Structure 1
């Protein structure tokens, strides 16, 4: 499957479809029984309630066992399964009540009903509600108490004063307690349904919030003495509750396979709360007012109004808090510039997928050389470019894919795939999206991106997956940019090794483990030593000699190149001062020191150079700083630093000349004093068969002569190479043929030595 393809959505879980269908059939059977019922056959009429509640218990248990469900969701539905199972006992009690001809809600039916309600309410401990502070929890407790007290006032008055003779006080009291429980459950269920937090599906919660309404209406009708209404709700009420639970379980089970649903701004459970209170109030007033005096009517109406006001207060309070939290969530989880999810939002989405056991692949995209673009066009225009890139990425994502801006010029894409080929295809697709021309102001830019690919593995956390993608992205940068790299476990070892080397290098700089060697630069005409290049060495106390190729890249990447370079600069200048004191007029005029781009970007670098020259008593012309072509083109800050150094009198050498893409233009744009021909052009020119390298070497020699610069050929390893270069016009050279890098004492001795015969003679 390619990165642009996405599998179809999940099919409904058959284990949840069957209970839902059976519950629907049972409800239809109950309605059919009402149409043709035999007045004495109450057992058959109540059979529908038993079937639906058994189905509800099975459906909830199925959801609690799904692997995709997180622990709080499993706990929630396990308690609902227990609640439905206990409700089965209530339906069996209703059959017994019908067979015995008992009226109202006897104690043997009320007790399991109350137990079922309690289990359902306990289940909501797994659904976080909005209040979090102690004050909020105290307010929530007071609100629940107000609802309970209002229900007690209403039901207590009715139980003691309005039930016809012949119904026992125990039966009336049991019905009243059930009514209070239904009212309290209605508030709790509805409050959970509109909560902006929690992992339980909000639509499933909304369906469950309707269930207590049937029990509440049944109790009110019973206490009002309406036997027909009680029969209707006894036969239809239980099936409705069971069907509602089955529907909620079906919704939850099939929502687990998709992306987590956003909490709706206003769920359909909210108006149902108002409807529940309104229906209850109307039924109570209509049924009870006929037989009560004015005072009794006032108590009933007042009690209902109290409950209604409390519920409305809860809904309005939650609505306001929900809006505030939604805005805070938007600010906390989204990027202000692009509107995309930010790092926090992306990690939350990735965590939900990983913890749910779903497949996930992360693409980490970093725009190459964006810092240089930002320095060139300014932050405002650079933000325009980033916003355009963000919108393009947003428009390019497929179904179930998501994109985020992690910060700066770094973006991340979450893919619902786990195959390498598909991830690599997706990486190429997004690279092409970023690679299309973008415009900021009146300038057009072609951007490239390096992409790190990480496919989640079982047991990995979201942080680990994102860190793997980050490691792969850096590997893509190091491989030449504008490319993608898929994470492999060995890369983590490489990163660990990098961290270890960086830590030890930091200690080495402070602990005196670094040494300098000096490679002589010879005059190819006179054979005398003309200068030298300082090369840093690391003598590790345990591992011995560490070659520069193993620690210089680490120093550049970690930023340690700045203190390392400062040490090399000072040590080289101090050594030149010692040579001058020892060898006098035979001493070379200047020492060459390599400078990294991170040093040139350091605001204090020019002052550091000036301080070193002042402390060592050297003049600016005694120092040659070597920079690479890639360093020179790294933005206006580097250009400004080079300009200040040149104005100071420090000479600049362009190292590895000829290997970059814009070498000739650099000679016009930057103050260059010395060109060092890269070793790659010296190799193979001895016999003249490599006409390409020979042509480049000859062209550089002519260019240097025309521009009145100094040319140095690097990497001379044979007499034939030396003679060919000298014939082409190169005056200076360095390489193993003349001398390898030497300790300071040996290098100093060569300054006073006789001209090197191997250089001047055949």
Structure 2
């Protein structure tokens, strides 16, 4: 599914139609002039209003786009108003001035206002270094060009004007001419500035406007009647075409995929205008002095001008030398930035670059979404195949992401096995489609260390909302990614605000759980495991409960996931292990041989990863006076496949004599294969297979339950059925060969005192 760039959604602005209309109007005027001005002068003047109207409409199209950087909207908004005043001047020229190629006050006033707005628009562009020195240099360059062009107009252009030229026409011509030269300087600096905001190609096209104004005013003042006519009918169409076409280029640049800002190459001719102005002024001084001064004064001025020329030449050489040095510094800076913003292993942008790119889009009010991608079970792969193979796999994942990203999508490696993709969209459906596409790409097999591996990943999606920072968007994606992992991995989840509240709730609950462990608010209850033949308890499973002083009873389904996520499962599990063993020791002291022989304790995978867990178990057994045979540790299938560290811990416990029970057996994807690799002693059939077997309607459950019983008998393992809730289930399980079982039919989880009473009581009648 392709991803459309929604960076500033395009309004109904006519596409490239305004530029085509302005070009057609300009071309029509040119043809009219080449044909020798046939018909009424009115026909020649019509091109101006048409072209300027198209220019105003095109500039409005850019200025009114949504989610476009504010400087760009402001610039084109001013050009829209400038084009509007120039359109007014063109209309007045058609209505009142088509029989006079001069400049009256009716045309001149809106013309001057339009030029003034153009000056304001261009002066707002970043055209120099944002330092006091940079601003001073720009001001001096502008002053140099302004003075030089004013002198040239005063002594050359206006001097060539006919004697009957009105003063107002002279002032308008000089103002437009000098302004045009100044605009060329500003445009040149803005196009070459690293901080440019408007598209450089648009700025280059806009140079047509000041050039047309500068050349046109010369023709208007000093030209023949035909030259003045050419200016009168052609200047405004040219200006209109330049604005309309530049707006079209700006629209295309906004819709195109984002590219790195290219460094300005070379030194623009427009940036040499200050030096050209100095040289021209020097020539003008020589010319004037040759006519009006004595020999000694003339020699002195010529010498001063020569010195000025030498200084200018020296400055040009210094500029070239500085340019070469600056180019070397910029190359080094670019390399340092590349190293600082890219990941050395994969070559992708790193966390810093991703955060910068996301922040820039958000600050520019452009649509953005972040995908956070975490490779599932990468630790197990890394532990099994080694770090070198793990690095090779991460490199291939990076290349796979890069290959499946479309134009405008930025893939990055945040660190470890975490990757991210920046999307130029705020459409949830589109972001979800991209997540599905990337997951499908990562689902193809990888060839690593001469092995073919199937890999999955979990993806969190966060859409940048109004007012959010880049850091907040990344945190939201992180929260969604963890939700994807908790939902079963190999999937994506889109962030919802409720998730942040849930995370805050979990954080508060984790803090309160820590205090509960310290203050002794937790307690254990025990669900007996019964011998289904004798009806006597043969063991008990220790289950933790939390009676909160304010919340009341807190379900294990709420606080156990919080404990696992926060790491509190380690101290919590240590407390459960010690408390359960101490309770069994008390029962054995009280009931002797009638006491249950062993206690079942659930152990989380995080505990099994702890390097000192085996020593901790040995210490607890020694301190409570129990043997290793008195303890059964229950683990889930997902714990067993966690990695070599967990497998080594389980093997050490088995060798010590501690019994190992595989809890929720049958629900995993590799249950049978685990029996060969895992030193199991007890299989606990999951409650989902016990439900519904009484009536025999679900043949699948019946088959699995029967197969587990036969498998346990064949492998000489102890089989325990969980979740027995009625007599019919009990009878069916007995028929299948199950010797042991748990469930509410026999006993719910009980306090230690009530559980102890069952050890000396007569067998229940239901057995």
TM-score, with length taken from structure 1:
0.77
2:249 is the counterpart of 1:251: yes
More displaced stretch, 94-103 vs 669-678: 94-103
- Matches of 1:222 and 1:300 in 2, distance apart? 33
Give, in whole Å, the separation in 2 of the partners of 1:740 and 1:587. 18
1:533 aligns with 2:541: yes
CA contact (8 A) 2:69 2:365 kept: no
1:72 pairs with 2:81:
no
Please report how far the alpha carbon of residue 372 of structure 1 lies from its aligned counterpart in structure 2 after TM superposition.
Answer: 1.8
CA contact (8 A) 2:203 2:246 kept: yes
Residue 517 (structure 1) shift: 0.5
Q: How does 1:471-486 map to 2 (within 5 A)?
A: 473-484=481-492
What SS does the aligned partner of 2:674 have? helix
Shift of 1:638: 1.2
The residue matched to 2:198 in structure 1 has which SS? coil
Report which stretch shifted further, 590-599 or 237-246.
237-246
Inter-partner Cα distance in structure 2 for 1:229 and 1:312: 43
Q: Deviations over 1:569-594 (max 9, x none)?
A: 23323434544555566554543211
Counterpart pick for 2:200 among 189, 198, 202: 202
RMSD, aligned α-carbons? 5.3
Matched, 1:635 2:643: yes
CA contact (8 A) 1:400 1:416 kept: no
Alignment pair present for 1:698 and 2:709: yes
Aligned to 2:293: none
Cα gap change, 1:228 to 1:687, in 2 (>3 Å): closer
- Distance in 1 separating the partners of 2:160 and 2:613: 101
Q: Per the alignment, in what secondary structure is the counterpart of residue 538 of structure 1?
A: strand
1:662 correspondence with 2:661:
no
1:414 maps to which of 409, 423, 448: 423
Per the alignment, in what secondary structure is the counterpart of residue 610 of structure 2?
coil
Which of 381, 394, 399 is residue 402 of structure 2 equivalent to?
Answer: 394
2:147 pairs with 1:141: no
Cα shift at 1:36: 7.1
Instruction: Report the more deviating stretch, 324-333 or 5-14.
Output: 5-14
Partner in structure 2 of residue 20 of structure 1? 19
Superposed, 1:178-193 pairs within 5 Å as 185-193=183-191
Alignment of 1:156-555 (within 5 A): 185-197=183-195, 199-208=197-206, 211-212=209-210, 239-266=237-264, 271-273=268-270, 294-295=302-303, 298=306, 301=309, 327=335, 330-331=338-339, 334-342=342-350, 365-398=373-406, 403-407=411-415, 408-412=417-421, 414=423, 418=427, 420=429, 427-451=435-459, 473-484=481-492, 498=506, 501-523=509-531, 528-555=536-563
Q: CA deviation at 1:73?
A: 2.2
322-331 or 188-197: which moved more?
Answer: 322-331
How many Å separate the matches in 1 of 2:182 and 2:323?
14
Shift in Å, 1:137: 0.4
What's the offset of the Cα at 1:140? 0.7
Counterpart Cα distance in 2 of 1:13 and 1:647: 76
Distance 1:27 1:288, change over 3 A: farther
- Residue 62 of structure 2 is matched in structure 1 by 63
**1:520–1:530 Cα contact (<8 Å) kept:** yes
Query: Which whole-Å deviations, capped at 9, do the CAs of 1:221-240 have from their partners, x for residues lacking one?
Result: 999x8889996778756554
Structure 1 position 21, deviation (Å): 3.9
Q: Could you give the per-residue CA deviations for residues 65-118 of structure 1, whole angstroms, max 9, x where no partner exists?
A: 233434332222223334455667998899999969799xx9989975873454
For the 8 Å contact 1:83–1:116, the answer to whether it is kept is yes
- For residues 718 and 240 of structure 1, the distance between their equivalents in structure 2, rounded to whole angstroms, comes to 92
Residue 595 of structure 1 deviates from its aligned partner by 0.8
Task: Work out whether residues 13 and 254 of structure 1, in 8 Å CA contact, stay in contact via their aligned partners in 2.
Answer: no
Larger mean CA deviation between 227-236 and 363-372 belongs to 227-236
8 A contact 1:147–1:310 mirrored in 2: no
Residues 303, 613 of structure 1: alpha-carbon distance in 2 compared, 3 angstrom cutoff: same
Q: Give a deviation string over 1:519-547, Cα, whole Å, max 9, x none.
A: 22345566554432210112233442222
Structure 1 residue 442, shift from structure 2 partner? 0.9
In structure 2, relative to structure 1, the CA distance for the partners of 1:678 and 1:19 (3 Å cut) is: closer
User: SS state of the match for residue 421, structure 2?
Assistant: strand
**SS across alignment from 2:124:** helix
The answer to whether the Cα contact below 8 Å between 2:188 and 2:270 also exists between their aligned partners in 1 is yes
Q: CA offsets per residue over residues 96-155 of structure 1, 9 Å max, x none?
A: 99969799xx9989975873454133331xx5x784xxxx60231232244245446745
1:758 partner SS: coil
Cα 1:455–1:339, aligned 2, differ >3 Å: closer, same or farther? same
The match for 1:561 is 569
TM superposition shift of 1:378: 2.7
Corresponding residue for residue 294 of structure 2: none
Q: Structure 1 stretches of 5 or more lacking a match?
A: none
Shift of 1:429: 4.0
**2:764 paired residue number:** 758
The offset of 1:599, in angstroms, is 1.9
Q: CA deviation at 1:758?
A: 2.8
Residue 632 of structure 1: CA displacement?
0.8
Q: In structure 2, what is the Cα distance between the partners aligned to 1:425 and 1:111?
A: 54
Change (3 A) 1:643 1:146: farther
Query: Are residues 724 and 72 of structure 1, via their aligned partners in 2, closer, same or farther at CA, if it must alter by over 3 Å?
Result: same
- Cα distance change, pair 59–310 in 1 and its aligned pair in 2 (3 A): farther
What is the distance in 2 between the residues matched to 1:305 and 1:43? 50
User: 2:79–2:118: 8 Å Cα contact kept in structure 1?
Assistant: no
Per-residue CA deviations over 1:393-448 (Å, capped at 9, x if unaligned) read 4333456655554552444373759484x766655544332222110121110123
Aligned equivalents of 2:320 and 2:362: distance in 1?
Answer: 39
CA distance in 2, matches of 1:71, 1:281: 37
Post-superposition CA distance 1:284-331 (Å, at most 9, x none): 789887666644753774686588679879977886676566556655
Name the stretch that deviates more: 397-406 or 511-520.
Answer: 397-406
Does the C-alpha gap of structure 1 residues 102 and 83 become closer, same or farther in structure 2, counting only changes over 3 Å? closer
Separation in 2 of the partners of 1:604 and 1:724? 43
2: CA distance, partners of 1:376 / 1:523: 40
Structure 2: runs of 5 or more not aligned: 291-301
